[in-house]
Amino acid sequence: MEAFRILITGGAGFIGSAVIRYLVENTSHVVANLDKLTYAGNLDSVAAVSSSDQYRFYQVDVCDCAALDKVFAEFQPDAVMHLAAESHVDRSIDGPADFIETNIVGTYTLLEATRSYWQGLPTERKAAFRFHHISTDEVYGDLHGTDDLFTETTPYAPSSPYSASKASSDHLVRAWQRTYGLPTLVTNCSNNYGPYHFPEKLIPHMILNALAGKPLPVYGDGNQIRDWLYVEDHARALVKVVTEGEVGETYNIGGHNEKRNIEVVRTLCSLLEELAADQKPAGVARYEDLITFVKDRPGHDVRYAIDASKIERELGWKPEETFETGLRKTVAWYLNNREWWQRVLNGDYQLGRLGEKA
């Protein structure tokens, strides 16, 4: 396959950094990481590949049109993978403004910068160009039947400010394809987990709380169901879509791993008993004893589940990890990479952010 020049927004985030590590370690594609470096952006997550000739970094906000124009002119991408987003539901409930700004205004600004650049490309490069927008299954709302699945044609019914902002960005991307002919693709994925996950999210939050002997807070009765996808499986799927997907299409990406939240937490506790019995905090007989049920959050969706048959059928992708193998790898990674998450918890990862490689 001919090497692409791929501009990745949000490449210092959880999923974006996984995509960058995969591209640099497994392909000949050249990658530009464009990230504002908000609290969730962590350049430690791409440290393993940051010295590669295939990697560039630009500290730029997707809402900054002039800065985006400069990056496009300098890097000359063949594709854009748009992952930059505010993504934490609880934070969107407490402060929705940042989600509207980044996820909606930022996507609009990036689309316009991309369109301007794309329209100026020579005919052959223009025809080969791709804009890949990475979204979430939360735009579909929740499922009520036990056998229902989200498909690419499920109507949108977002429940939180976060999912509403992502739904808005999806609509913008499709409108730019329909109105201006911009060659776009959209993917909607289920809950990701794995290495380098920011500690505010469920799985890393539970692992680190357990190791610290802190309560493991579970919303409501813990019976909310999510479909879990190992982040490195997701990275492979995204690269498949941007390089082989059909323009104008949407692809749902799921892990085929439906689990209740309480089941996830109990499985984590079980793995910690096996892998970190000697690291149990003083006074804790079993990690599971730390589980605490707390008041449910407003508008909490009950069940998400993805029908990923289209991407498997049309692009030949399916997840390599089961939930059991992926979760074991995840727990082992957090146990073996304390420096990464300790730098997040104490804030050191935010030091020295200006003047990075560009």
Which positions are catalytic?
A: 137-138, 162
Domain span including residue 41: 5-194+227-258+300-322
pLDDT-derived band at 146 (thresholds 50, 70, 90) equals low
pLDDT tens, residue by residue, 228-254: 999 999 999 999 999 999 999 999 999
CB 11 within 8 A of CB 46: yes
Q: Is residue 270 a part of any domain in this protein? A: no
> Is residue 181 left, alpha or beta, with left meaning phi > 0 and alpha meaning psi from -120 to 50?
left
Q: Is residue 111 a part of any domain in this protein? A: yes
pLDDT-derived band at 37 (thresholds 50, 70, 90) equals very high
Rounded-to-integer distance, Cα 263 and Cα 208, Å: 17
Q: What is the count of structural domains for the chain?
A: 1
DSSP 8-state class, residue 275: H
Distant-in-sequence, close-in-space partners of 336: CB < 8 Å, separation ≥ 6: none
- On the 0-12 / 13-18 / 19+ scale of CB atoms within 10 A, 218 is buried
Calculate what percentage of the chain has a pLDDT beyond 90.
Answer: 85
Predicted model pTM:
0.94
Rounded-to-integer distance, Cα 63 and Cα 108, Å: 8
CA 296 vs CA 11, 90, 289, 299: distances in Å:
32, 11, 20, 9
Distant-in-sequence, close-in-space partners of 120: CB < 8 Å, separation ≥ 6: none
Q: Is residue 148 a part of any domain in this protein? A: yes
Q: Is residue 353 a part of any domain in this protein? A: no
Q: What is the mean pLDDT of residues 100-120?
A: 97
pLDDT tens, residue by residue, 2-32: 899 999 999 999 999 999 999 999 999 999 9
Q: Is residue 337 a part of any domain in this protein? A: no
CATH number at residue 28: 3.40.50.720
Q: Is residue 242 a part of any domain in this protein? A: yes
